[in-house]
Amino acid sequence: MSDPGLENPARSALFTDLYELTMAAAYHAEGMAALAVFELFFRELPDNRNYVVAAGLEDVLDYLEHWRFTEEDITYLAAQMPMPAGFADALRRLRFAGDVHAVPEGTVVFENEPLVQVIAPIIQGQIVETSVLNQIHFQSVIATKAARVISAAAGRQVVDFGSRRAHGTDAALKVARASYLAGAAGTSNVLAGKRYGIRIFGTMAHSYIQAHDDEAEAFEAFARLNPRTTLLVDTADTLAAVRKIVERRRKLGDKFDIGAIRLDSGDLGQLAKESRALLDEAGMRDVRIFASGGLDEYDIAALIDGGAPIDGFGVGTKLAISADAPSLDMAYKLVEYAGEPRTKLSAGKVICPGRKQVFRVCAGECMERDVIGRYDEDVPGRPLLEPVMTGGKRLPAARVPLEAARSHCQAQVALLPEPLRALKRAEEAYLVSFSDALKRDLARVTQSPRPEQ
């Protein structure tokens, strides 16, 4: 029988760092099995970001629901690390039986705010760290990048074109999902379309035109098979290709039915203006102009500011790898064990002890400030962390359709103060503070420090 972990690595219990397992073995040997609280958060925003869009929770919950060690896993581990008495049997029986609280996917979050809380026996909470971080980190990075691209497009269509240069097949699928969550119209990736129910886009590459002896005949043949299609016009001479399209329309009328042209190189702004003029003069005002070719949010904003009559954008590499901010300083830390608050006092990495909640205060239709407090505090504002899993079982309310998460994300971005939606770093950061009670907890633990967690 094949190993399910090899068929779907994202569900394998071995998708973890070795030190998670060596710590788990030590906990087992010492009889440490009390309830622990781990929190996932990021310490600082990248220099060119004003917010982060939380994403990846769906995959985390799926992973935890299916989390288990197979016999093949245990045999492999026994050859790789010391296995204290009874540990192999403990791994055989191990299932995630904890609780999870999280902010809904698509929620806008800020520095030091818990995005996910895992409340479980310490061995369980420890081993799942790597996968939880992996899923939340990458998808939040991409969703944030996509939200910026979509903001820059100012209502124009944005499509994910990044699969071919994404960092692996799993990353390409997650880029498609995270981009759609943030508001993209769809993706070029067919498997992502099938898996997530996302609209798929795509017509032709330069190779199709190159394979024909005559560009105009290639256009005609393709349009005959694909009514309302998009034709790529920059294989040779962009404006000459647009003129060929105009001539074919004059010759064939409605039998040559195209929906758009795509510009993929050159001075996109100038070419869009000249192409629009040619199309409009020919009465082809319904033909849209779509642009691609190494674009990101800065390029799109510049094109729109320059008056380019572009109706939609395909965004690839710079979205798929979040080129200008490819990572977050994200961490997953123990904040409570056996009912006692725990902290970390490393320089520059101090964490507030104890389980927390984030309370958001809005003024009308605008976010005003967040307060990070104890999870059971009575603090003004709406609590962001919600229960999504109890006893290892996902709650019905946590089964959120992607379309609903997408709508939530768009509503969240709309609530941001206008300077925070800008592409450059805002002069005044969003206000996030710690409650007085949480500050007292930190002071109390700091005065009698425990060993680092």
Give the separation between CA 379 and CA 357, rounded to whole angstroms: 9
Q: Which residue has the tokens 């769809």?
A: 186
Q: Categorize the per-residue pLDDT at 442 as very low, low, confident or very high, splitting at 50, 70 and 90.
A: confident
- pLDDT of 388 over the 60 cut: yes
| Run of H or E residues at 209 | helix 206-210
Rounded percentage of the chain residues whose pLDDT exceeds 70 = 96
Residues whose CB is less than 8 angstroms from the CB of residue 404 and which lie 6 or more positions away in sequence, other chains included: none
pLDDT tens-place string over residues 63-76: 999 999 999 999 99
Name the residue with higher pLDDT: 346 or 391.
391
- pLDDT of 336 over the 70 cut: yes
Residue-level pLDDT at 448:
63
Give the separation between CA 453 and CA 451, rounded to whole angstroms: 6
- pLDDT of 36 over the 60 cut: yes
Count of Cβ atoms closer than 10 Å to residue 100 Cβ: 27
| Mean pLDDT (the chain, rounded) | 95
What integer is the mean pLDDT of 172-190? 98
Q: Which amino acid is at 142?
A: I
| Run of H or E residues at 356 | strand 356-363
- pLDDT of 5 over the 60 cut: no
Rounded percentage of the chain residues whose pLDDT exceeds 90 = 92
Residue-level pLDDT at 428:
95
What integer is the mean pLDDT of 288-299? 98
- pLDDT of 4 over the 90 cut: no
- pLDDT of 18 over the 70 cut: yes
What integer is the mean pLDDT of 216-245? 97
Count of Cβ atoms closer than 10 Å to residue 266 Cβ: 13
Count of Cβ atoms closer than 10 Å to residue 55 Cβ: 31
- pLDDT of 218 over the 90 cut: yes
The sign one gets for the Cα dihedral 400, 54, 64, 177 is positive
Count of Cβ atoms closer than 10 Å to residue 418 Cβ: 8
DSSP, res 11: G
Of 294-298, 342-346, 448-452, the poorest mean pLDDT is in 448-452
| Run of H or E residues at 118 | strand 116-121
Of 112-126, 199-213, 345-359, the poorest mean pLDDT is in 345-359
What integer is the mean pLDDT of 27-39? 98
- Give DSSP secondary structure letters for 31-68: T---EEEEEEEES---TT-S-EE---HHHHHHHHHT--
Query: Do the beta carbons of residue 126 and residue 24 sit within 8 Å?
Result: yes
- Enter the pTM of the model: 0.95
Q: Categorize the per-residue pLDDT at 444 as very low, low, confident or very high, splitting at 50, 70 and 90.
A: confident
- pLDDT of 453 over the 50 cut: no
Of 26-30, 177-181, 247-251, 443-447, the poorest mean pLDDT is in 443-447
The encoded tokens of residue 390 equal 């109890």
Query: Do the beta carbons of residue 225 and residue 208 sit within 8 Å?
Result: no
Residue-level pLDDT at 424:
96
Give the separation between CA 175 and CA 149, rounded to whole angstroms: 13
Of 207-211, 405-409, 442-446, the poorest mean pLDDT is in 442-446
By residue count, the chain amounts to 453
Q: Categorize the per-residue pLDDT at 3 as very low, low, confident or very high, splitting at 50, 70 and 90.
A: low
What integer is the mean pLDDT of 433-453? 78
Q: Which residue has the tokens 């710690």?
A: 434
DSSP, res 203: -
